[in-house]
Amino acid sequence: MQRLHTIAAWRDYAQRQRDAGHSVGLVPTMGALHAGHASLFDEAKARGDVVLATIFVNPRQFGDIADLRAYPHTPEVDLRLAQEHGVDCLVEPALEEMWPEYPRPTATTVSVRGISEVLEGAGRPGHFDGVASVVAKLFAVTGPCRAYFGDKDFQQIAVVRQMVADLALPVEVVGCPIVRDYDGLALSSRNLLLTETARHQALSLSRALHQVGETRRYASAMRRAMRAVMEDAGVRVAYADVVDPVTFMPTRDDEGGARRALVAGVVGGVRLIDNGPVVVEPRRD
C-alpha cells in the first residue's frame, strides 16, 4: 500500500492508474476507520477498482470547534484496516495542503441549495457547504473515478450526487448499505466517543427506525413514533422525519409510497444520525 501526503503526488498516482487502464475507486474518509469503511473498500475492490482512500478531517464542515477537536483519531487502527482490506493508496494530506489559508475562509465555496438546507443542514448551518467544498476538491484532484459513500450519511450522498450532476463531474457516486454493530447501532466514528450509558441510549435511533419500518403508517404518525422512542431513551432529538428520498421534501399525510425515514439526536454530548427506507400509507379520515 502506497501512502501519499501531497496533492501533486495524489493527482499523479490516480492519473497513472487510468493511463495503465485501471479504474479508480475513491473512498473519502475522516479516519477513525471501522467496519463500515472496510465495506466501502471491499466494494471498490470487488468492482475491480484501484482503491484510493483519503483520510482528512475537514474543519470546514464543523460548526463547533469543540466538536472538531473531539473528533476521534486512531491512526494505527486506520493503517491496519486499510491494509487488510486492499487499499492500494492511502492519501493523508495535511491541513495546510488542503486549505492553505485556514482558518481564513477560502474565496470559493461549493453550495448545493435545497437538499442541503433541511435536516442536517438546518441543524448544522454551513455543514454541507464544507462537505461539498472538500468533496469537490477530492474529485478535482483524483479525476475520473467511482466514489464510494455509506448510506448512513444518506443526505450527504444526495448533496454530493446533486453537485456531481450540476457540475457534470466525471464521477460515479456509489452508495453502499449501512453497516451495523451486533446490537443494531449504525457504525460511526463518533461511536468511539460514547460512554456505556450513552451507547445504550443511542440504540433508540435504530429501534425507532425499525419500529416504523415494520408497520405502514401515515407520515406524521411515523414522525411521532420515532420521536417518542428516542425521547423515552433520554435522547435529545434533533429531528425525526419522513421525506422523499430524492428531493428530501417532507412527506404529507395524504401521500403514500416508498420514502426515507431519517433521525438525529444528541446522546451524551455526541450527535448521531441514522436512517432507513419506509413505506408510507396515506392517511384516510
What is the per-residue pLDDT across 117-133, written as a single tens digit (0 to 9) for each? 999 999 999 999 999 99
Q: What is the pLDDT of residues 190-199, one digit of tens each?
A: 999 999 999 9
pLDDT at 271 over 80: yes
- Cell numbers that stand for 28 in this block: 473519502
CATH node for 2-176: 3.40.50.620
- Chain-centre distance for alpha carbon 22: 26
**Radius of gyration of the chain, Cα coordinates, nearest whole angstrom:** 19
Catalytic residue among 5, 22, 34, 37: 37
Do the beta carbons of residue 176 and residue 43 sit within 8 Å? yes
- Cβ atoms within 10 Å of 231's Cβ, excluding its own: 15
Q: What is the pTM of this model?
A: 0.96
Q: Write down the H helix ranges in the chain.
A: 7-19, 35-46, 65-70, 75-84, 95-98, 120-123, 127-142, 154-167, 196-214, 219-232
- Assigned superfamily of 189-278: Pantoate-beta-alanine ligase, C-terminal domain (3.30.1300.10)
Do the beta carbons of residue 31 and residue 23 sit within 8 Å? no
pLDDT at 285 over 80: no
Q: What is the pLDDT of residues 8-67, one digit of tens each?
A: 999 999 999 999 999 999 999 999 999 999 999 999 999 999 999 999 999 999 998 999
Q: What is the pLDDT of residues 236-270, one digit of tens each?
A: 999 999 999 999 999 999 999 999 999 999 999 99
Amino acid symbol at 188: S
- Chain-centre distance for alpha carbon 33: 13
Q: In the chain, where are the structural domains located? A: 2-176, 189-278
138, HSE (Cβ side, Cα atoms, 13 Å): 32
Is residue 37 flagged as an active site residue? yes
